[in-house]
Amino acid sequence: MKAAVLNTFGAPLDIQNLSDPVLGTGEVIVDVAAAGIASYAANIFNGSRNYLLELPVVPGPGGVGRVRATGPDATKLKPGDWVYVDSTIRSRDDIANPEQILLGWTYRTPAALPLHRHYHHGSFAEQMLVPTENATPIGRIEAADAGRWAALSRLLVPFGGLLAGGLQAGETLVVNGATGGFGGAGVAVALAMGAGRVIATGRSARTLENLAWRFGPRVRTVQFTGDEAHDRQSIGDAAGGPIDMVLDFLPREASAAQVRSAVLAVRLGGRVILMGGLRGEEGNLGLNYNWLMHNETTVRGVWMYGKDAIPRMVQMIRAGLIDLGQFELTEFALDDANEAVAHAAANAGPRQLTVLRPDRGGALPN
């Protein structure tokens, strides 16, 4: 099979021919049709993100494709089925506390290294091998639409956070960091779930204005000024009432003050879901014990999403609650993987979706 291989951090992806994956019990081989490319992929490939990743590797966390072959224990999946491949692979020998990896992307702890070595290559290839439970049927689609269905990887992450936080219809939600890919998708998903009002925060006035224009009066925006007290007041004013929940997607470059500006605005008994990327000293949020206790606030970290989120999101798309046409899609052939990574970095807004199409050869028209 043809694949884009990362041989050395800082080097371009190398298009190579690799051996086809070998099927085992409890596994599925998928012919990859479309794989989304994260805006920060270049920073993983150059080593600046310091992700745990053993090289050489075919990167690519998940995607959309068709089943090529199943193991002898598969009961429903069959060759030809369209599936979404979930990148989160969990070990099977400790259900209570499993090790976890993101296929072709990173392993979380050294104990997960055996899992990373077995399920090593991701979706920047014509085929990939995954556990059976990581291939979820999405129903019949046109091959030409596979790139749009790759948006599942963008939508599922905030959906996982909203499910974990128990968002209810009519509630007021703050999406903190709504101008990024996952945050912008979080606005769309929250509205589809029935949120009464969504407060979208961020630094880019133009992106915030676009969110408000696209989604209508249920979305209100707050541009960060850097003054924590002022920003918190602005969030409260935009809400116009109690804030039930905060979904935080602030990136590594953000500050703890930006997180607190939203967290401390929640109502008595409010919920806070942390899914962002703060690191180092900025990761120390400085939340007051006494305030958390008296305000009865639930603060929860969420990594990715549960398996049940995938069929539920597919149902929402099929029902028309989520419009895959909201994304500005740009597709690249596998041979142009490096150009695709550069394009994703330069087009990192909430509407932009860069997709690699291993099912097509040669250059693709934009």
Give domain limits for the chain: 2-151+327-357, 164-301
**Which residues contact residue 142 at a Cβ distance below 8 angstroms, ignoring those fewer than 6 apart?**
none
Amino acid letter for position 166: G
Q: Tell whether the model's pLDDT for residue 192 goes beyond 60.
A: yes
Please write the tens of the pLDDT for every residue from 178-191.
999 999 999 999 99
Do residues 341 and 357 make contact, with C-beta atoms less than 8 angstroms apart?
no
Give residue 280's pLDDT: 85
Give residue 364's pLDDT: 41
Superfamily grouping for domain 2-151+327-357: Medium-chain alcohol dehydrogenases, catalytic domain (3.90.180.10)
Q: What average pLDDT is seen over the chain?
A: 96
Please write the tens of the pLDDT for every residue from 126-185.
999 999 999 999 999 999 999 999 999 999 999 999 999 999 999 999 999 999 999 999
Please write the tens of the pLDDT for every residue from 224-243.
999 999 999 999 999 999 99
In angstroms, rounded to a whole number, what is the distance separating the alpha carbons of residues 362 and 328?
A: 21
**CATH number for the segment(s) 164-301:** 3.40.50.720
Q: Tell whether the model's pLDDT for residue 276 goes beyond 80.
A: yes
Confidence label for 281 from pLDDT (cuts 50, 70 and 90): confident
Instruction: Give percent above pLDDT 70 in the chain.
Output: 98
pTM of the model: 0.95
Give residue 365's pLDDT: 40
Q: Which parts of the chain fold into alpha helices (H)?
A: 41-45, 113-118, 146-149, 152-164, 181-192, 205-215, 228-239, 256-263, 289-295, 309-318, 337-346
Q: CA separation (Å) from 281 to 19, 52, 220, 225?
A: 44, 21, 30, 21
Q: Tell whether the model's pLDDT for residue 308 goes beyond 90.
A: yes
Q: Residue 71 class from Cβ within 10 Å (0-12 exposed, 13-18 middle, 19+ buried)? A: middle
The continuous run of DSSP H or E covering 172 comes out as strand 172-176
Amino acid letter for position 195: A
Please write the tens of the pLDDT for every residue from 49-68.
999 999 999 999 999 999 99
Crossing angle for the helix pair 181-192 and 205-215, nearest 10 degrees?
A: 20
> Would you say the C-alpha torsion 159, 117, 31, 140 has a positive or negative sign?
negative
Q: Tell whether the model's pLDDT for residue 246 goes beyond 90.
A: yes
Confidence label for 361 from pLDDT (cuts 50, 70 and 90): low
